[in-house]
Amino acid sequence: MIAKRVALAGALLLLSITPSASQLRRPLTCTEDVSVGLDMAGAAEGAKAPRKPRTFSLVSSGGLLTVISAGRSDYYECQPASPRLNERTPRNAIKCQNGVYFLLIDLNKLNFVEAQLNPEDRNEVKVSYGTCRGL
């Protein structure tokens, strides 16, 4: 009886993880809805300066994600996003990062949040979010 429950729980876990891998195999086009950065020059400390929204493409290959924007390619290492302590169900999301960029993609709603954090230059702090669609 217990073995059947464990097998069923394992099967459900595999089924919940599988869509995230298959959904990201197709290329996506993402558009920033809002992009805000810190502007240290000419403004008060911590003032927010709106940035021009951009459109970029996402292509996944293995555990790497390629972000193509304005002819430039950035590579991210990705892993499934684990649930928080107070959440019981796993998310269908992945989190990706490279040197100063962090990207979280919700594969159910096709939303993303991106953060740019550079400890060497405070002018390079930016947060943006938006939506994606399949090609």
Residue 88: both structure tokens together: 């019981």
pTM (predicted TM-score): 0.68
- Mean pLDDT on 85-106: 83
Predicted local distance difference test score (pLDDT) of residue 93: 87
Tens digit of pLDDT for each residue in 59-80? 988 778 999 988 889 999 998 8
Among 22-26, 29-33, 55-59, 86-90, the least confident range:
22-26
Please list, in sequence order, all residues whose beta carbon lies within 8 angstroms of the beta carbon of residue 91, skipping any fewer than 6 positions away: 80, 81, 82, 83, 106
Tens digit of pLDDT for each residue in 10-23? 444 444 444 444 45
What is the residue-wise DSSP string for 31-72? Answer: EEEEEEEE--SSS-TT-EEE----EEEEEEETTEEEEEETTE
Compute the mean pLDDT over every residue in the chain, rounded to the nearest whole number. Answer: 76
Number of residues written out for the chain: 135
Predicted local distance difference test score (pLDDT) of residue 115: 93
Predicted local distance difference test score (pLDDT) of residue 13: 43
DSSP-based helix, strand, coil % in the chain, nearest 5: 20, 45, 35
Q: Is the pLDDT of residue 106 over 70?
A: yes
